[in-house]
Structure 1
């Protein structure tokens, strides 16, 4: 088999790493890929958003399966384009990808089908939103309707922060069209859990749980990021809670999407808050999470190609999906200053040493220059280790992190705690 993986971040590196272990695969291409992916696959210089270019490449090179990593091409309809050209592709089509592409669509879906989530109101006019904030309980969550590269959600502790967030999104157009409509949402409290699920349009098969660490500094301080690390399984996700989530949230979501004429085939990401009133949905994504993929995929025993094929065929009924019992911890190493302004082009050393204890270093924002690996993004690397328990996995991951060096590098010391 020839496979094309679309994307070039840590999530795509984890997908390529797992696909490379499949006996069914002869060749892997990645577009655009990164230097870490380049050790396992042939990187081709086509942007993840260049849908016609990707389809052309897949057709010309007789690609048997294309796996789409990021949300932007999914929301833009890459799956529809590939299917129209008779190409096999893994991921939800444009109608199903709305579940991430529009916060308003997903909130209205949950309301209609009685899927537990935070109370909310939708606003198209900034003045109406600001007036509502004057009487709304604080804290409040301000969400841009469309995609905003993980930066479109602001947890506002007070009214002035909430109003500033509305101004940033709706008046200053910080996220372009994505912020022309917003959702103001009740603030939920409790431990967060992410559950990814393979979905064939009718049935959802949940993966092992994980927990992302969103804030940039230790002890959950500082601004939100795309994710500073993750642990799997999530400590707060008990078997009792899992049963409720699988029945009342994940499967109900898949049933709801089918009823709406947008059956979901691919990976559904459900971000949950375990509140005192039970689990509630914070958000959906239409693909593997990042960095959650970097702890979930290494725990998968089953050949990923087999699972993806069952999803594409619309029949997960007989799929035997097995998981390792070990705990996985991923520590993200970021550029200094991230998620604000940061510099790139810093030479990275110690990458080979970091993998000597069995850890895996996933490249997220790297490039190659003069035969050296350099930084090329905010989140640069994700170091994943598996252990018999969280203490062992943390020890191995941080041991590996200590071998890596670049100017200004920053990472949290409390991932997995």
Structure 2
């Protein structure tokens, strides 16, 4: 069976690696992939961008691809699944109409309001003064979010009215381009964040293991937001009672609501939730595997990933279950100096040779490429070192031991990934 994985980051490397391990898969094609997928057994890269929807359809036809798995959000929001459906090709992911849950934060908030899904008080604005007045009415301690896709960097957590006004002015003033034509201002929720991912076939829901992402750049979850500096699974904050509430108060109403509005949801439904006093409330929805949550989740997954993702397009997840390694997995992301702002590319990466990779340790490539026989940096989030351990502390120790061996000029990574789990004992 030939599988196409769309994208070229760490998440896509993890997906290609796991799918290539299926006994039913003969070949995985990654478009465009990176230097890590290029070297992965059973995986080849194709020089087709994830935004080239016509090129992806042509590639799938040419290579007799039987199933396509889309990694990044942009092609999903732009309608890649619709294009594949129209061509009679199976593609794992939501349609453009369903992907609006991620593509427009304003749409997602309004959808939650219509269906009684717990979230923060909010409003959506195109006028900076009106948005600033609303923020002031909430006391200034607010989250300011670009309405559109901003690669995980479109959220500013303001502590004061002045900070909120500056963020609103910056976003609506064009700092994020078309993503910031409107801005959502919402109350700051207190508690601990978690990532709750499910596979959905339009009706049935298959929950995945819990996980927690670390978006801020700095230790202790400080500094500017990024696309993700690390993640781990499971997340102890998702207790049995919290799990039940997320399923019954959030996930099931979303799936039922999307179907009722004429846009049945298929693919990965990712709810980013804030948990306070045992009560989960939605921060945001994503319409795909998280990056870097995907890496530790797939490291723990014992089931055949192909069986699970095939259930989405076929509309039958009702008889499937996912088996998980009981151990913890943790991913440490190494980034280029200057990220999430401007950063240099082309630095030679040292120390990758001799890393003892296997089922319990894997270096997933995000922003890498080969130049004249050298492995060099080509993006902001360069590598994701992911390890299994007896617990979160052991997984982090093993990931950091490997990260400490890999270097290039200006390399940076957080050493405290998983600290909230460790604080819980």
When normalised by structure 1's length, the TM-score is 0.97
Equivalent residue, structure 1, for 2:422: none
**Structure 2 spans left out of the alignment, 5+ residues:** 420-425
**Structure 1 spans left out of the alignment, 5+ residues:** none
The answer to whether the 8 Å contact 1:353/1:403 transfers is no
Equivalent residue, structure 1, for 2:280: 279
Deviations 1:171-223 (A, max 9, x none): x2122222112111010011110011000101211100001111111112211
Equivalent residue, structure 2, for 1:196: 197
Alpha-carbon separation, structure 2, partners of 1:225 and 1:322: 31
Equivalent residue, structure 2, for 1:36: 36
Partner SS for 2:210: coil
Equivalent residue, structure 2, for 1:16: 16
The answer to whether the 8 Å contact 2:241/2:278 transfers is no
The alignment of Structure 1 onto Structure 2 pairs a total of residues equal to 416
Deviations 1:223-271 (A, max 9, x none): 1111111110112111111111111111111111111111110001110
The answer to whether the 8 Å contact 1:354/1:401 transfers is no
Equivalent residue, structure 2, for 1:124: 126
Alpha-carbon separation, structure 2, partners of 1:294 and 1:219: 21
Offset at 1:352?
3.0
Map 1:339-378 to 2 at 5 A. Answer: 339-356=340-357, 358-378=360-380
Does 1:403 pair with 2:405?
yes
Alpha-carbon separation, structure 2, partners of 1:274 and 1:135: 24
Offset at 1:136?
2.8
The answer to whether the 8 Å contact 2:205/2:318 transfers is no
Equivalent residue, structure 1, for 2:260: 259
Equivalent residue, structure 1, for 2:423: none
Partner SS for 1:248: helix
Map 1:215-294 to 2 at 5 A. Answer: 215-276=216-277, 278-294=279-295
1:201 to 1:71, Cα distance in 2 relative to 1, 3 A: same
The answer to whether the 8 Å contact 1:353/1:400 transfers is no
Stretch deviating more after TM superposition (357-366 or 194-203): 357-366
Equivalent residue, structure 1, for 2:211: 210
Stretch deviating more after TM superposition (343-352 or 355-364): 355-364
RMSD of Structure 2 on Structure 1 (CA): 1.2
Equivalent residue, structure 2, for 1:60: 62
Partner SS for 1:254: helix
The answer to whether the 8 Å contact 2:92/2:309 transfers is yes
Alpha-carbon separation, structure 2, partners of 1:335 and 1:310: 37
The answer to whether the 8 Å contact 1:354/1:400 transfers is yes
Partner SS for 1:367: strand
Does 1:322 pair with 2:323?
yes
Deviations 1:315-341 (A, max 9, x none): 111113211111001000111121122
Alpha-carbon separation, structure 2, partners of 1:28 and 1:93: 23
Equivalent residue, structure 2, for 1:114: 116
Alpha-carbon separation, structure 2, partners of 1:289 and 1:412: 18
The answer to whether the 8 Å contact 2:333/2:413 transfers is yes
Offset at 1:59?
1.1
Does 1:7 pair with 2:7?
yes
